[in-house]
Amino acid sequence: MKLKVTVTALAFTLGCLASTNAYSQAESVAQRVDRLERAFEARQAGQARILQQLNSLQREVSELRGITESHANQLEQILERQRDLYQEIERRLAEPQSTGMDSARYDEADVFNADTSNAETGYDRAIRLVLEEKRYDQAIPEFQRYIANNPNSEYVGNAHYWLGQLFYVQQNYTEAKSHFSTVVSNHADSTKRADCILKLGMIAALEGNSTAARRFFEQVNREYPNSTESGMATRQLQSLSN
């Protein structure tokens, strides 16, 4: 009888231990699963953040690529216009008779013959620096001195025109606009006026002001139809429309 009780008690104790171990093991498995789930979720969240960052970087790269392509196109347009400018200025410098410079120079020679020193430091000297010697940088102060010393001369308009051209080639558009605008506003009879309006339009286009550029080109066509400048203005208008 005593042995039976002992065996029963032992069996009960073992059963309790087994239940406790099973519960402990079940709890441990649940904890591990929970930890794994949390780790998986954290990894998923991290991957989502990385993916979001990658998408953001891709958008930035696309935007930068678009900006770069846009700037490249703008640069190419500027370079193309600059090439056109150099070709035009060289053509005009090589063929001064097409702009009326020959007759102007002959008239100036008559005016300056009485005073050779004035001829050397005035308009005649500046013109020779441009047309014959092609020393453009030195021509600028010569024209400026001529304007300052001879504000009422009939050649002041021409001097402003050439200063505008020289500053234009140097890409000093602020100074170029100032001199071209002076010719347009104050020298209505100047043979250079049409070209000054055209150049104001080209400067506006280079500066990205297409509205002003279009206005200047249309002004050339309106006021000087069938002229060389009108043909160039028409081509510039077509370029703006593309």
Residue 161 near residue 148 (C-beta atoms within 8 A): no
Q: How far apart are CA 121 and CA 131, in angstroms?
A: 16
pLDDT confidence band for 216 (50 / 70 / 90) = very high
pLDDT confidence band for 153 (50 / 70 / 90) = confident
What pLDDT is attached to residue 127? 87
What DSSP designation does 96 have? G
pTM: 0.53
Question: Which residues have CB under 8 Å from 162's CB, separation 6+?
Answer: 126, 127, 130, 139, 143
pLDDT confidence band for 210 (50 / 70 / 90) = very high
Specify the higher pLDDT residue, 238 or 40: 238
Residue whose C-alpha is closest to residue 93's, from 132, 65, 147, 144: 132
CA dist list (Å): 114 to 119, 127, 145, 150, 217: 9, 18, 19, 16, 42
* Span 14-73, pLDDT tens digits: 555 555 555 555 556 566 656 666 665 566 555 666 666 666 666 666 666 655 565 666
Phi–psi pair at 18, nearest 5 degrees: -65, -40
